[in-house]
Amino acid sequence: MFKQTVTAFLLVWSSQIALNTNAEVFSSVVKLKVLANLELVLLSSLGKFIQSQNGIESRDIGGQNMNDIIRFVVETEHKLSQEGRQVGNPVNSYQLVHRFLYEWRQIKDILKMILRTEHVTPESETFANKFLHTAKFIQDSEMWPDTDDLQGASLGLLRIVEIYQVPLYQLARGNLLGKRTMALETTQCLSIADVAQDMEMDWEAVKWYNYTISILGTDAASQHLLTKAHMSMAAILYKLGRPDLSADSIQQLIVKKNGSGIHDNQLQTELRNYLQKSSNKPVLHPLIRPPPKWIGYYNFEKLCRAQLQPQISNNVVCSFHERLVPYLNFKREILHYDPLVVLYHDVVTDSEMSSIKNTTIRKLTRSDVGGKDSKGATKSNARISQSTWLPAEDKMSEVLCRRIKLITGLQTDFKLKDTNSELFQVINYGIGGLHLPHHDYVSYYRKAKFEDVPLFQNSGDRIATVILYLSDVLMGGATVFRNLTSMYQL
């Protein structure tokens, strides 16, 4: 007997609370908002501690000049008083993660050292302890960003630049599709370039190194960063088959260093090596973006940018969808007939959305994709989000199942065995979050004899997917049907 399965996804929202024993903060806007609110507590406690310590600005503690920390507090307060608190902006989110990984971690260690080695007033001790208590809370909740978060946030910005064709210099200066925020710092631009290089995104790495070089000065303080950027870019250009451009990069670095009174024999050796390799390679191909790894990726990008005109736009049919219950007439747009793509309006109320969020928000973990391993699922960069499941016994699950049954005419009862539908999956996206094109049906795994994998066991095959959108987004957020060259923009 053929089994049908209806899958319901609930996508993208924001909230003020989230506790979870799972890191990867970058992959969920919900968690980033929580982290941003906790940062305000840290900032307030640190500011009050500094005010209570007379003459602290003239001291060095743990090799760190306190003037630098005071400057950090002032600059961060300025950022957050402008547009810097809006973590829905991926540039702000990246900077939030970067601050926790570097500045806040260092300040936490310095405050611990002060309390351990110096005499402080009871008032100062109170403020320092509040700071450290908040920091411990963030760590115990596994909300403190780590290097994986910074890599994920960097990849999110790299994806945004490529998919939406945002001019790199605009994003780096804090201008994202007309939305303004604080500019990225030079060290942050260099860090993003390093991530691109580590992930073998050579085309993107060259662009970010080149931009970093363009904003770096030639003063003594910039020499280390300048050398790193030029040397890394030269290595990538050689990998891309352009040793002549590698030599140009090293030559530019030598000129800048000579202008600062620095002479580096190692750079001269590097230059000679690249020049020799260039002379041995007379045929030089143009430096262009490499082709995508799968056919249709460019169309996918264009759909996300709304550059392809949907074939369905001229044939949309709008009507009230009358059902057996007279007062339940749903507003319907038929976007496509074969396959059937239908958009319903006002299916879920605001209070119902709030109930779903409040029930599931603390359970969000990094989303999986179906896999062939023993666990049946695995984490993948093809799906950057956090998700959980709405319990079958939850009141809202019962309400939505009945409503979707009325709309679709499909059986939506969830059962542990021979089920008609899956549980509702609740999803929240993060910095540059996405789910790459995929099939929702799972027959491949049955054919491949993976019936025993828990993820697919007793699920039949999916014949329909219901997506409920629980909030709006400032930009992006397209749901695209690649083979139809059509999209639905949130």
Compute the distance between CA of residue 134 and CA of residue 140 in angstroms, rounded to an integer. Answer: 10
HSE (side-chain half, CA atoms, 13 Å) at 196: 26
Compute the distance between CA of residue 364 and CA of residue 353 in angstroms, rounded to an integer. Answer: 16
Q: For every one of its 490 residues, what pLDDT tens digit does the chain have, with 9 covering 90 and above?
A: 334 444 443 434 433 333 444 568 988 888 899 999 999 999 999 999 988 877 665 566 655 667 888 889 998 988 887 665 688 889 999 999 999 999 999 999 989 988 887 778 889 899 999 999 999 999 999 899 999 999 999 999 999 999 888 999 999 999 987 888 889 999 999 999 999 999 999 999 999 999 999 999 877 778 899 999 999 999 999 999 899 999 999 999 998 887 666 667 888 889 999 998 888 876 667 888 877 777 778 888 888 887 655 554 556 677 777 666 666 778 888 888 888 888 899 899 999 999 998 888 888 888 877 655 445 566 777 788 888 988 888 999 999 998 898 888 888 888 777 777 888 889 988 888 888 888 777 655 555 555 565 555 656 677 888 999 888 777 778 888 877 765 555 3
Residue 358, in any domain of the structure: yes
Assign residue 476 a region: left if phi > 0, alpha if psi is -120 to 50, beta otherwise? left
Q: What is the pLDDT of residues 336-373, one digit of tens each?
A: 888 888 889 989 999 999 999 888 888 888 887 765 54
The answer to whether residues 9 and 427 touch, using CB atoms and an 8 Å cutoff, is yes
Domain extent at residue 412: 310-369+380-488
What's the total number of domains in the chain?
A: 3
Q: What is the CATH number of the domain that holds 384?
A: 2.60.120.620
Residue 339, in any domain of the structure: yes
- Together in a domain, 384 and 424: yes
- Together in a domain, 26 and 101: yes
HSE (side-chain half, CA atoms, 13 Å) at 400: 30
Record the pTM: 0.84
| Three-state DSSP class for residue 486 | strand
For residue 286, the model assigns a pLDDT of: 80
What does the block give as tokens for 353? 């959305």
In eight-state DSSP terms, residue 182 is P
- Together in a domain, 328 and 424: yes
Place of tokens 């760190």: 64
- Together in a domain, 418 and 466: yes
Residue 126, in any domain of the structure: yes
The answer to whether residues 484 and 26 touch, using CB atoms and an 8 Å cutoff, is no
For residue 445, the model assigns a pLDDT of: 54
- Together in a domain, 359 and 432: yes
Instruction: Give the residue from 120, 145, 170 where a domain finishes.
Output: 145
What does the block give as tokens for 398? 């019962």
| Three-state DSSP class for residue 312 | coil
Backbone angles phi, psi at 219, to 5 degrees: -70, 170
Of 382, 416, 413, 331, nearest to 27 by C-alpha is 382
- Together in a domain, 320 and 469: yes
Residue 255, in any domain of the structure: yes
- Together in a domain, 324 and 398: yes
Place of tokens 């906790």: 38
| Burial of 452 from C-beta contacts in 10 A (0-12 / 13-18 / 19+) | exposed
Instruction: Give the residue from 145, 174, 204 where a domain finishes.
Output: 145
For residue 372, the model assigns a pLDDT of: 53
- Together in a domain, 357 and 484: yes
Of 150, 109, 154, 151, nearest to 132 by C-alpha is 109
- Together in a domain, 260 and 405: no
Which three-class secondary structure string do you get for 51-115? Answer: HHCCCHHHCEECCEEHHHHHHHHHHHHHHHHCCCCCCCCHHHHHHHHHHHHHHHHHHHHHHHHHH
The partner residues of 259 in beta bridges, in order of sequence, read: none
Of 449, 377, 461, nearest to 420 by C-alpha is 461
